[in-house]
Structure 1
Amino acid sequence: MQELSEFRERLQPLMGADTSRPFVCDGNPLDCRFFVVGFNPATTVGRDFWQYWSNEAGFDKYEFMRDYLRVKKLRGARPRIEAIVEQFPSNWCLETNICSVPTKQASDLASRDRRTAIFEFLFEAIRPELVFVHSNEPIEFFRRATGCEDFRLAPQSAEWCGHKFTLFGKPGPIWRMAVDDARAVGRGMARLVWDGPEGGAARIEEARNPIARLFAERFSQWSIKLPWPDLEQRRAGKIVFKSWWIQYRFGEDDRGEFLDYLAEHRMSGSEHVRIHADGERKTLPALSQMQPVCDDPIENERLQAKYEAGQHEIAMMLREKGFI
């Protein structure tokens, strides 16, 4: 992807040390809505950051975690961070630090490695909607940057680099927080993205808007709905959560507003649907792994050619929507 290639070209020159770890995420960092921000990484996994990267898919968190668990048990800050980010769709979360060079102790970080240019680049390039800062140094960084003073796990409106966002803070080391408490904090922050201010905006919109309501009803078993910022701004987006991979975009035709979504699940396959503002739900063509076969070689060849032509046409349509 061109955008990921350009992102790497801008980030790589800022990474002076081979051991720098600017962030961890699951896939494309430009999709992330939520930052978890600490002081600096505590663990060196023995591989260069870019070995987990591809310009097509972004960061491979699965491979990173395999290496991480080879060198360190799941303890300290890591299980608390995982407990928080697991409350969000996996493609929404970016774990980062104001300093990017790993050291066992924060006090071991050399003065030359206390630069925040990488973090500042990430913030400006991605522009998160929600930021959770833990430990005293990043809290002090955001206090100076935003003028915010209350860092007691209460949401507050903040602005930095011309970007408005919601800011949470947890003074002191995150490893002192119980894992269940971290999980509860994550749930509370995730509700802000799903439901909007004070949890009411999205529910009001779902009550009056058939598009929002029918989408939420379809995925109610998994507590998935259109995120409030996307619903409010009629913005395209992606949700990777509870084994679902869902992409959606708003549009208009001669009947008015509609939402198209492509949803894929490892157990149920793909569904491509259009929901109109009048409440009609229409099934659209989706790619299929079920190929027709026939014992007659000539007929089988004809069926195969027809199948491939149809799949190509569907793929072109999905590509135009940005779904593949």
Structure 2
Amino acid sequence: MDEIYNKIYISNSYPYLRPFISEGDPKKCKIFLVGINPATPILPTELDKTTYIELIQDYEKFLSYYRNYRKSKFKTEISRTRYGIESFKKWLKQYTSAQILETDVYTYPTESLVELDKINPDILVISKEIFVNVLKECRPELVIIYGKRAADTFFDLAQINKFQLFIYDTNSNKIQQMEQTVPFAKINIFGKEAYIAVCRHFMYYGKTGESYKNFKDKLKNLVSKV
């Protein structure tokens, strides 16, 4: 993981890149939740690098930091997306004991996609390289991608990095269609296969994810294999 940690610092003027947040050792996480990019910028002037690395490997501590950060910005303690992620993970843990790692195809944190698109392209390239390195280092067994842009970027990166990729439904190009095929794809990461499921962004999930019911019913069978 040293190669990843060595790249998360850009300068004191930029937030740390966030390769993941995990429930302990990231290499023991068999399930990945993959979004587009983190939404909580943490500057090196706020936390030293060692403390930051420890924080992203301790999910409960990170969540506490996240809530305090949002309150300091006069925001609600938790965003719609975070609320959806927490609700989905609570549901998911009924069917698996596997550790879960949250990551993003762009590891550069911004509070909106509009801001993300304004970031120096060279930095964004590095941020995507870090995501690919997390995939290579951790080699999950199940990857759940939420959001169309995240899915498109993931599959682009898979092709660029020459991962063996098999898509089960090549006719689906809308997120609502992609969600109906579970698994949607399978990827080979250095000899280890992982199933890929794709769904709508978790900002729409809410408390129970009722509109995700068909996706979850199909996902249950896949999760049992992890």
Asked if these proteins are the same fold (TM beyond 0.5), I'd say yes
- The residue that corresponds to 1:155 in the other structure is 182
**Corresponding residue for residue 193 of structure 1:** 223
Instruction: Please report how far the alpha carbon of residue 140 of structure 1 lies from its aligned counterpart in structure 2 after TM superposition.
Output: 0.7
Question: Residue 83 of structure 2 contacts residue 206 of structure 2 at CA under 8 Å; is this kept in 1?
Answer: no
Change (3 A) 1:82 1:165: same
**Which AA in structure 1 matches 2:179?**
R
Structure 2: runs of 5+ lacking an equivalent? 71-76, 159-164, 173-177
| Pair 63,91 (structure 1): closer, same or farther in 2 beyond 3 Å | farther
1:123 aligns to 2:120 (yes or no): no
Structure with greater proportional strand content: 1
Answer yes or no: is the 8 Å Cα contact 1:29–1:126 preserved in 2. yes
Residue matched to 1:202: none
**Residues 106 and 49 of structure 1: CA distance in aligned 2, closer, same or farther (over 3 Å):** farther
Query: Which secondary structure does the structure 2 equivalent of 1:192 belong to?
Result: helix
**Partner of residue 168, structure 1:** 197
Match of 1:51 in 2: 51
CA contact (8 A) 1:28 1:91 kept: no
Q: Specify the alignment match of 1:113 in structure 2.
A: 123
Shift of 1:49: 6.1
Return structure 1 stretches of 4+ with deviation > 6 angstroms: none
Asked if the contact 2:87–2:206 (Cα under 8 Å) also holds between the matched residues in 1, the reply is: no
What is the rounded CA distance, in whole Å, between the counterparts of 1:75 and 1:37 in structure 2? Answer: 17
- Cα 1:32/1:14, change in 2 over 3 Å: same
Report matched runs for 1:1-324 at 5 Å: 7=1, 9-17=2-10, 18-45=15-42, 46-47=46-47, 50-54=50-54, 59-72=57-70, 73-86=77-90, 87-88=92-93, 92-109=99-116, 110=119, 111-115=121-125, 116-144=128-156, 145=158, 146=165, 148=167, 149=170, 150=172, 151-156=178-183, 157-162=185-190, 163-171=192-200, 173-181=201-209, 189-194=219-224, 196=225
Q: CA deviation at 1:100?
A: 1.0
Q: CA RMSD in A?
A: 2.8
Q: Alignment identity in percent? A: 21
**Cα contact 2:21–2:56 (8 A) shared by 1:** no
Residues 146-170 of structure 1, C-alpha deviations (whole Å, 9 max, x = no match): 3634421532241244442111112
Match of 1:14, SS state, is coil
Whether the aligned pair in 2 keeps the contact of 1:133 and 1:169 (CA below 8 Å) is: yes
* Equivalent residue letter for 1:131: V
Aligned length: 186
CA distance in 2, matches of 1:70, 1:81: 18
- TM-score, reference length from structure 2: 0.70
In 2 relative to 1, CA 192–139 (structure 1 residues): closer, same or farther, beyond 3 Å?
Answer: same
* Distance change (3 Å), C-alpha of 1:134 and 1:141: same
- Report the CA distance shift for 1:58/1:42 in structure 2 as closer, same or farther (over 3 A): closer
Q: Provide the rounded CA distance (Å) in 2 between the counterparts of 1:139 and 1:79.
A: 21
Q: CA deviation at 1:50?
A: 3.8
SS at match of 1:62: helix
Q: 1:78/1:48 Cα in 2 relative to 1: closer, same or farther (>3 Å)?
A: farther
Q: Which is worse superposed, 109-118 or 23-32?
A: 109-118
Q: CA–CA distance in 1 between the matches of 2:137 and 2:221? A: 24
TM score, norm. by length of structure 1: 0.51
